[in-house]
Structure 1
Amino acid sequence: MTSTTLFLLQALVIILAPFILTYIFRLSMYLPPVVVQVLTGLALGPSLLGRVAPGTYEALFRPDALQPLQHVASMALLLFGFTSGMHLQWSSLRERGGALCTISLASLLVPGGLGLLTGIWVLRNYAAAPGPAASGLQFPAGIAICCAVTALPVLAAILRESRLTTTKIGQMALAIAAVNDAALWAMLGALLALSGMVHQPNTTSVTALLLLLPYWAALFTVFKLLIKFIEKHTPEKSQREHLQLTLACVLALGSAVLSEWGGLHYVLGAFVAGVAMPHSAREILLKRIEPLTVTVLMPFFFMSTGLKTLIDTSSPLFTGIFLAVTAAAVLGKLGGVAVAARLTGEPWCQAFALGALTQTKGLMEVVVVTILLDAGIFSRNVFSAVVLMAVLSTCLAMPITRLLLRYPARGASASALSALPSQPEPGRTPS
């Protein structure tokens, strides 16, 4: 079998397997499609296929044949960061005022604080847990970020499939997730910058970091001016959309290159480029980029994630970290959001349902933990434990919400499910 034939066979398996599980076996009725994709990646990796059919696993995914898959996965991750940035709607956050700020802060600080304490506990009890580049509080800070994640794209997909997008609880959950997304990327960028300065204090890296901020600031102006120029001087719609797509990809790649050069992860640069994209061009770009990214490219990322993940329940290191991180993430998000929402006037039923929804982690958590593994802050055992935590917490989100909204308390369910016609349903987001 030639290397090209092997790559095409890998691609066929990677794209077809989650499709069969999602739509033929109807797992989408019980699990978000992104969870099915993650589980498919885990099943095709050493955790399952490598154990039950080692010969097939070795033939399909031997180490020397993985480099092409990794390149496709990197492009998928870059485009995901770009589209995630375009999904942030700052105007909807400003409209919700103090109550949203209080709940959003609690959704970050409570699980993040528990995650920080959990990371310190892991450091004291499992010396092999940190990665080779972790020092000081970098490892606990990474655990804190993982516990604080709420995945905006996956949450939007769950709400859409459950017909909760335009309800009060759905709109509140989306707004909280948007704040989480923005804060997450900022915290992750700061952690990676600190790690890069500590472990690679070279002139090139420092120069690139100094260039990043003015470059990112300029993107907001440059994007707007160039998009207006294209709209003004290109009357034909198809040509205008083609130019906008080319411009967006070029500037996103440039931002990613500079981020990677500066010791940050390239996906951070792509995310900032997405945030900088003018709203007038976002809809058409998302329609063109997102379906290909989600359907064709992201399964390659999940496959590369699955190949790095070894779920070994017999290992005290894996089991201990998984249980500790899951408890911190689920209880911190559920309790922190519920108490904050209750203090701002929401009924307990709706407050806990909001906490259940915002513990959705899915794809965003897998992205974050992959970045932390690549940066040398997490070891592979911690990586595997956090990936499994992301799958479990995402699977629990909707069943807990449905259970809570099924038992109204003083009109809580009716309030949670009341439609907000003034809030338009967001554009289709990746699942």
Structure 2
Amino acid sequence: MSEPTAFLLAMLAIYTLPWLLWRAAGQRSWLPLVVVQIVGGVLAGPAVLGAVFPDAHGALFTPGVLGALGGIASWAVMLFVFVAGLELDLPDAWANRRDTATTAGLALIVPLLIGAATAALVMRDSVWMGVGAARWQFLLGVGLACAVTALPILLLFLERLGILRSPLGQRILRYASLDDLIVWALLAVILVDAEMLGRQAEFATLFALATIAARRLFARANERDRIPLALMWLLVVALGADWAGLHYMVGAFLAGSVLDSDWFGIPVIDEWRDRILTLLMPVFFLSTGLRTRWEMGGMDVIGVALALLAAIVVGKRFGVLLAARILGWAKGEARLIGWLLQTKALIMIIFANIMLDRGVISPTAFTALLLAAVLSTMLAMPMAQRAIAARDADKG
């Protein structure tokens, strides 16, 4: 089989099989297409398809095909993370700073601590930690992965529930946005390399100066020029972050977070996110699946994934419940918000990819985090629907 043929067959499988499965499942609200695509990527990886049909798997996913898919996946996730950064609304968070800081802080700190403690208890074997990683990096990284919320998936769920543009929906977005900003900042701390501190300090200084210039440029540019300028800005910052020893995805998020969404418009950003999810991200999901390995952890991977899932659910819900008690929320809001903030898929998987690339976690730990992310996201929608039904019944 020639490499172009193998590449086209791989692309056909990527875009066809998950969609058919999703349609066959009736497009369930608790099973968004992105989750089916992630699971499909796992099934197509060496853990399942490669184990059952090793010859066919090797013939389809040749080194050349994997290289081509990897390039598309890297560009897809850079664009996706950049848009996630654009979706941060820091001025709105500042205007409601007491509510936002209290809720986002507790919704971050509690699952982070519980996740790190869980990792310390169930991931004692060296098979879980990346080669050369310090223990504090590993524990903090796993804790942060348990605390992150997938803002783009949260937007999708809020839209399906009909509360995206409501005051409650905007509050939830504020909490998730601030949490994600802090998580990405702490990830940069984890990735700091003592041997590259000079470069990283230089990058931080240059990025601050470049941000001032970029904001002036975007403010003055006309609408037609802002999109190509945004792509140039994204690539420059990603290259700078990678040069400094940080991951290029950290640079992509930073590049988006310092720009104002008003310069592009919410409808345009929504369209970008939808197009990236439809056209490019399925390739990233397959690439993620191809990195999923079970052989080193066996059934322990599932046990650790379930332990991490428990830490995620308990941590987010307890953190939000504490915020509700402090701030005096209406009855039922803590339950609804606590479940919606469980949306982990995509951002948690991207986060785990970065830690795997930088040697903070092992492939086995990556697999456990991926499973926990998928399960958490699948729980979010049905439990949120129950919370809304219970709240409406109380009001009635």
TM-score higher than 0.5: yes
Alignment CA distance shift 1:42-1:66 (3 Å): same
2:388 is aligned to 405
Q: 1:327, CA displacement in angstroms? A: 1.4
1:223/1:25 CA distance change after superposition, 3 Å:
same
**Is this contact kept in 2: 1:311–1:385, CA < 8 A?**
no
Give the Cα separation in 2 of the matches to 1:258 and 1:135: 25
Instruction: Quote the offset at 1:167 in angstroms.
Output: 3.4
Q: Aligned partners of 1:215 and 1:37: how far apart in 2?
A: 38
Does 1:108 find its partner at 2:108?
yes
In structure 1, stretches of 5+ residues that fail to align are: 232-239, 415-431
CA displacement 1:345-382 (0-9 Å, x = unmatched): 12452212211111111110110001111111111111
The reply on whether 1:260 has 2:259 as its aligned counterpart is no
Residue 21 of structure 1 deviates from its aligned partner by 3.0
1:74 aligns with 2:65: no
Mark the CA change 1:17 to 1:176 in structure 2 (over 3 Å): closer, same or farther. same
Write the deviation string for residues 81-104 of structure 1: whole angstroms up to 9, x where unpaired: 211111111122123231222111
3-state SS of paired residue (1:408): helix
Q: Could you tell me how far 1:316 is from its partner in structure 2?
A: 4.6
Task: Provide, for residues 128-180 of structure 1, a one-character-per-residue CA deviation record: whole Å limited to 9, x for no partner.
Answer: 21010311311111111111111111111011012121334322221111111
Name the residue aligned to 2:322: 339
Give the Cα–Cα distance (whole angstroms) in 1 for the partners of residues 291 and 126 of structure 2: 20
CA separation of 1:348/1:252 partners in 2, compared to 1, >3 Å: closer, same or farther? Answer: same
SS of the equivalent of 1:27 reads coil
Alignment-mate amino acid for residue 153 of structure 1: P
Code of the residue aligned with 1:208 in structure 2: it is: R
Partner residue in 1 for 2:233: 251
Q: Is the 8 A contact 2:331 2:391 kept in 1?
A: no
- Answer yes or no: is the 8 Å Cα contact 2:76–2:280 preserved in 1: yes
1:173-322 equivalences in 2 (<5 Å): 173-193=172-192, 196-197=193-194, 201=195, 205-231=196-222, 241=224, 243-283=225-265, 286=269, 289-311=272-294, 315-322=298-305
Total equivalences in the alignment: 395
Other-structure match for 1:18:
18
- 2: CA distance, partners of 1:228 / 1:98: 30
- Counterpart CA distance in 2 for 1:93 and 1:288 is 23
Q: Secondary structure at the match of 1:4?
A: helix
Gaps of 5+ in 2: none
Aligned letter for 1:306? G
Give 2:338's match in structure 1, choosing from 340, 355, 380.
355
Residue pair 2:235, 2:252 contacting (<8 A) in 1 also? yes
Render the CA deviation track for 1:178-202: whole Å, top value 9, x for unaligned. 1111111101111111xx22xxx1x
Aligned to 1:33: 33
Sequence identity of aligned pairs in percent? Answer: 33
Alignment partners' CA distance in 1, 2:165 and 2:221: 34
Does the 8 Å CA contact 2:297/2:364 hold for their aligned counterparts? no
AA aligned to 1:263 is G
Measured against aligned partners, the alpha-carbon deviations of 1:320-348 in whole angstroms (never above 9, x if no partner) come to 32122111111111121122213311245
- CA gap of 1:314–1:214, structure 2 versus 1, over 3 A, is closer
Corresponding residue number in structure 1 for 2:92? 92
Give the letter for the 1:14 counterpart. Answer: I
Residue 333 to residue 308, structure 1, CA distance change in 2 (3 Å): same
Contact 2:14/2:283 (CA < 8 Å) preserved in 1? yes
1:18–1:92 Cα change, 3 Å: farther
Give the aligned residue type for 1:388.
L
Whether contact under 8 Å (1:216, 1:273) holds in the other structure is no
Distance in 1 (alpha carbons) for counterparts of 2:213 and 2:270: 22
* TM-score, L = length of structure 2: 0.92
Cα separation, 1, equivalents of 2:30 and 2:52: 26
Q: Distance in 1 between matches of 2:365 and 2:219?
A: 47
Q: Distance in 1 between matches of 2:103 and 2:241?
A: 31
Task: Determine the structure 2 residue equivalent to 1:383.
Answer: 366
Which residue number in structure 1 is paired with residue 378 of structure 2?
395
Partner residue in 2 for 1:160: 159
Change (3 A) 1:133 1:64: farther
How far did residue 285 of structure 1 move? 6.0
Deviation string 1:17-62 (CA, Å, 9 cap, x unpaired) is 3333334653343312221221121121123322343333222224
* Contact 1:115 1:328 (C-alpha < 8 Å) held by counterparts: yes
Is the 8 Å Cα contact of residues 252 and 274 (structure 1) preserved in structure 2? yes
Task: Tell me whether 361-370 or 309-318 shows the greater mean CA deviation.
Answer: 309-318
Q: Please name the residue that 1:371 is paired with.
A: 354
Deviations 1:259-306 (A, max 9, x none): 011110001111111122233432386367434422121111111100
Deviates more, 1:132-141 or 1:93-102: 93-102
Once the two structures are overlaid, the 10-residue window that deviates more, 78-87 or 51-60, is 51-60
Residue 332 of structure 2 aligns to a residue whose secondary structure is helix
Q: Is contact 1:133–1:375 with CA below 8 Å preserved after alignment?
A: no
